[in-house]
Structure 1
Amino acid sequence: MTANVMVVVERQFDYPRPLVFRAWTEPAEMARWRGSPGWHVETETVTSDLRLGGRHHHVKVRDNDPTTRVTTDAVFTEYFEPDVFVARQRITGDPGIDPDTPLELRVEFTKTGRDGTLVRIVQGPYDMEVAGYHGRGWERELDRLDTYLAGDPA
């Protein structure tokens, strides 16, 4: 089957755009919230060269089985702080993603109201059978981001 489905997820945050953008791009901050419940990002694996052509890397690990690891390697193809970044990704270790088929991740940060930020994630292409699973994963990660931004260390 051909991967041809894009996942689109949006979430409104009651925090200023520079703060939300930094949480997505600074390695120390990313490691504190990325990963769906039951997963975590190994802090020492997060690297980001925040510029056009810069590379990004991180490893997510299943909490109850540290041998289950999903690795993301990416190159920024667009980078405009604090508006948007786009990365071409190679993801290995996820049985729903073909590591030989690159994904594109686009994350937009739109100022709303006085200090709000609308985050819009577009990622794919996915096979139709796994797109919903990955969309729900992004929703869970955004829940964790909201908790992190609110100052809850959980």
Structure 2
Amino acid sequence: MTANVIVVVERRLDHPRPRVFRAWTAPEEMAQWRGSPGWHVEAETVTSDLTLGGRHHHVKVRDDDPSVRVTTDAVFTEFFDPDVFVAKQRITGDADIDPDTPLELRVEFTAQGKQATLVRIIQGPYAPAVAQYHADGWEAELGRLDAYLAREEAR
């Protein structure tokens, strides 16, 4: 099936834009919240060179079966802290994604007043049959990000 669907997911987070951007891009923070329910990111696998042309790598592992691993390797094609980053990704280990068809991930961070941020994720192309599954995964990850930021703020 042809991968021709772009997924767009948005969520307003009640946290300042620089804080949300850092949680998304700093490897030590990203490892704390990335992964849909039932998955986690192996902290020791997260690396990011947060520059234009920089590389990013992480491995997600299924909680109930650690042999199931999905690897993301990416290169930043745009990087403007704290506004936006774009990465060309190669994802392996996900049966729904052809590792030979690169995906593009664009994440925008728009300030909404001083204390809130609209996060907009644009990613694809996906095959039509799996696009909603991946959109739902992003929704869940944004929920985890919000919970992580709230816990950190309460400290």
**Inter-partner Cα distance in structure 2 for 1:66 and 1:144:** 20
Percent identical: 76
Give the match's secondary structure for 2:139.
helix
Q: Give the equivalent residue in structure 1 for 2:37.
A: 37
Amino acid at match of 1:75: V
Number of the residue aligned with 2:127: 127
Query: What is the CA distance between 1:114 and its match in structure 2?
Result: 2.4
Structure 1 unaligned segments of length 5 or more: list them.
none
- Name the counterpart of 1:72: 72
Residue by residue over 1:9-45, the C-alpha shift from the partner in whole angstroms, topping out at 9 and shown as x without a partner, is: 0000000000000000000000000000110000000
1:148 aligns with 2:148: yes
Q: Any idea what SS the aligned residue of 1:132 has?
A: helix
Unaligned runs of 5+ residues in structure 2 are none
- Mapped partners of 1:77, 1:71: distance in 2: 19
Q: Which moved more, 1:143-152 or 1:49-58?
A: 143-152
1:59-112 Cα distance to aligned partner (Å, 9 max, x none) = 000001000000000000000000000000000000110000000000000000
State the match for 1:88 in structure 2. Answer: 88
How many pairs are equivalent? Answer: 153
Secondary structure at 2:151 match in 1 = coil
SS of residue in 1 equivalent to 2:37:
coil
TM-score (norm 2): 0.97
1:27 aligns with 2:27: yes
Shift of 1:140: 0.5
Instruction: Give runs of ≥4 in structure 1 deviating > 4 Å.
Output: none
What TM-score does the superposition give when structure 1 sets the normalisation length? 0.98
Q: CA–CA distance in 2 between the matches of 1:78 and 1:2?
A: 26
Q: Distance in 1 between matches of 2:33 and 2:22?
A: 12
Letter in 2 for 1:112: Q
